Structure 1
């Protein structure tokens, strides 16, 4: 008992003598803990540039081939967030990815994708020039079709800047690529606005008659290959009565309404005996609705069916 009392008196004496030291230690630890929490919050708030956009692309069905209205909104929000650091961080994000270059250039110039921000044609021109370098030497139809589209974009941009020689050069490159395999490449060549088409067709002449603000027309978005976008895609059964030797792929051009239903379908290529079955299969496809600026919008593209006995 005496030992316990002595120990208690010793501890009481220690705390009285060192109370100031203990108080300082407790306060210091508390301050350190608060600083760590603040630093953690600041780091969480400073998200890696384009991380939210990259996440949106990854989560979107079909990636860049998905809902570009939604993706472009996320992109423009990130553009606003980055402010003066936007261009430098964008080049880091683009890296050597040809797909990123292709679509980001569109997000910087197309009125459908700007969401109230001003266009950046100069930056888009640089990105597309780099995009051509990344596609150099690729022989697949998709890459060559993209090269046609990019050269056409650059031709129009150069013409609008008064750079006639450059405009003709890009026009000639586009048409030279397309001439080698028009049937194989056309499905991968992007559509044009009436104004861009007018400028392109008058590269060597006057574009005074090209109206940059024509009366509003029904908007149709070009989506390219749409197999992955369909909610119920499946290859149709092989038609009875058709010889097995006619098995193969049939490509079908489709027009999808704002509600996601297929409005029309026509065969691009494939064995004639399989055309009707392919059209019927295409008309049964269902897609998610496409909304641009709050308005249901039609989408054009193409799908492929593999017919196997």
Structure 2
């Protein structure tokens, strides 16, 4: 059974570098707690004033139950929410959203991503589709990361290892695809191949954010076996092949650039399989780069030697 999310919010920064820059790599040392008590955090986005919104999948509830994929119970409730973090405070601006989870709060599904459109309206995705404020827009983007822009949306397609563009009328085109690669199979996974043996792993992109340079940055959640530190951030420019921009993460859940040019990265660990912890942490990778891991927290970190200009 999947464990609780481990949320780490990180910051990455950018200055022009030579033709062969050193990729920023996760460094767990310095970090600052930004928010606590997040309930299975998923996507995040900044508003026009620099406030940070976080989608929380919730912990299900005492409503109708069904059998989960592993045979355990998955029960529905209204514990999903959208939280805002601003001026050192946090509060839920939207609550009572549908959520499903095990009685322990694991295997949670509910609000998956959040964004703010040009009119200041909150847009979020969940299992029912895409919502703008209280209204459901469509089933497109159900459960996936969505980035509004222009006359439509960018939608992350984990199953297809792709980034898609969707128009307001529902037309879809592929912007980029992300390759399958071989990784060393980690130790500690029952009934798996010998530790260290090569194993194909899908990218499973999970998140997208537009950077200050106008490029799109895509985070990987990674497919099985998801070894610690294997997730990457890709930089995507239309008409060009995507390039790896940063490495060293574990199961990235979401990305967001702040108005100051800092990239925030939400990590999601998977307990009992191959991730490093079963905690909820958000950390921040400041203007240059950074990260952290602790339970149910939003963290700010300053690291790095890379900038986007």
**Shorter-chain-normalised TM-score: which range?**
under 0.3
| Structure with bigger RCO (C-alpha 8 Å, 6+ apart) | 2
So what's the TM-score if we normalise by structure 2? Answer: 0.26
Please state which structure has a larger fraction of its residues in helix. 1
Bigger radius of gyration among the two: 1
TM-score (norm: length of structure 1): 0.26
